[in-house]
Amino acid sequence: MREYRHSDHRIKGVWRALASLVVLGFLLSGCGTPEPKVYRVGVLSGLDFVAAITDGFKEGMTGLGYVEGENIVYDVQQTNFDIAAYRSILDKFIADKVDLIFVFPTEASIEAKNVTQGTDIPVVFNFALIEGVGLVDSVREPGGNITGVRYPGPDIAVKRFEILHEIVPDAKRIWIPYQRDYPIVDSQLEALRPVAEAANITLIEFPAESAAELEAELQARAKQDDPGIDAILFLAEPLAVTPESFAVIGRFADEHKLLVGGALMSAEGHESVFGVNVNPLDTGKLAAPLADKIFRGTPAGTIPVVSAENFVQINYRAAQALGLTVPESVLAQADEVIR
């Protein structure tokens, strides 16, 4: 009987030791709780003019519970309309095996779609036109591994034209500079041409590659008794909204007392009179729920594309400097008036 009790005592000791090891293992592994997922997002900010989209996206993600440095990390890469740089940055994201690529504007989004084919990395685009560029199959079913926030370019182009016409109704020759072969220009011009024709207004379209080309054209016009331009309108495209190009255009416009409108810009003391665009912070926030759905398991290509809303800005100060009166009908449409 004594031998049996001694053996039983030894067995109990072994079990107690095993139980202690199990408890210790749970303690060391966080009581059996798996480590939280940390999502890695590659952000390609491809146009300085709307770089604040990144801030809006981050803010939206924070509101959904994604805390930077805790359960999400961002690799933000910024460039300014540089196709080669787009590709290099996107290649880095793919090599790093990020969980999602957030990208803007249009041409950078197209590059992201192309380079991620054959991978399982989803893409959320922003500030991108989808008309006629093959970015998505449709608004409701974008297809592939991509979804995002549409930039309503044709609608905004028409709205810009309408506001310009209200402010300077006597302007009959409108100069439109833009980046040559830029993929989203055609759809904007197609929307504008019939509207301009109905108003008996001539659109003078001027595609160019650089600020130097713009300057050469404007200098040639400045030498004539009549420069052949009554107002200047910007489309949604990258050339005119770079500081160097706008300084060239703004200088010519001020010398000839011409309205410049479409995008709200300022450079070297020159200012545009109005801008119709999307609010970068707000459009960035619109992308956050799309990313959240992807992280929760919904395939990107099944998530409908959303559209950003127009945001109208009037630079009343610049209009006064040109001796222009901004109609109350235009001021009533403004989301922001700069005085």
Domains of the chain, by residue range, sit at 39-151+279-308, 154-277+312-338
pLDDT of residue 32: 54
Asked whether the beta carbons of 188 and 235 are under 8 A apart, the reply is yes
Residues forming a β-bridge with 174: 203, 231
Q: Where is average pLDDT lowest: 5-19, 43-57, 154-168, 281-295?
A: 5-19
Asked whether the beta carbons of 259 and 233 are under 8 A apart, the reply is no
More confident residue, 216 or 22: 216
Average pLDDT over every residue of 251-279: 97
Assess whether the region 39-151+279-308 and the region 154-277+312-338 belong to the same CATH fold: yes
The residue ranges of DSSP E strands in 39-198, in sequence order, are: 39-45, 72-78, 100-104, 123-128, 146-150, 173-179
Alpha helices (H) in 81-175, listed in sequence order: 83-95, 106-115, 153-167
Note the CATH number of domain 154-277+312-338: 3.40.50.2300
- Residue 234: pLDDT band with limits 50, 70, 90: very high
- Residue 131: pLDDT band with limits 50, 70, 90: confident
Q: At the top level of CATH, which class does the domain 39-151+279-308 belong to?
A: alpha beta
The overall average pLDDT reported for the chain is: 92
Exposure on the CB side of residue 183, measured as CA atoms within 13 A: 17
Helix (H) or strand (E) holding 195: helix 185-198
pLDDT of residue 268: 96
- Residue 132: pLDDT band with limits 50, 70, 90: confident
Asked whether the beta carbons of 231 and 160 are under 8 A apart, the reply is no
Residues forming a β-bridge with 267: 270
Residue 2 has pLDDT above 70, yes or no: no
Q: To the nearest whole percent, how much of the chain has pLDDT over 90? A: 87
pLDDT of residue 94: 98
Q: To the nearest whole percent, how much of the chain has pLDDT over 70? A: 90
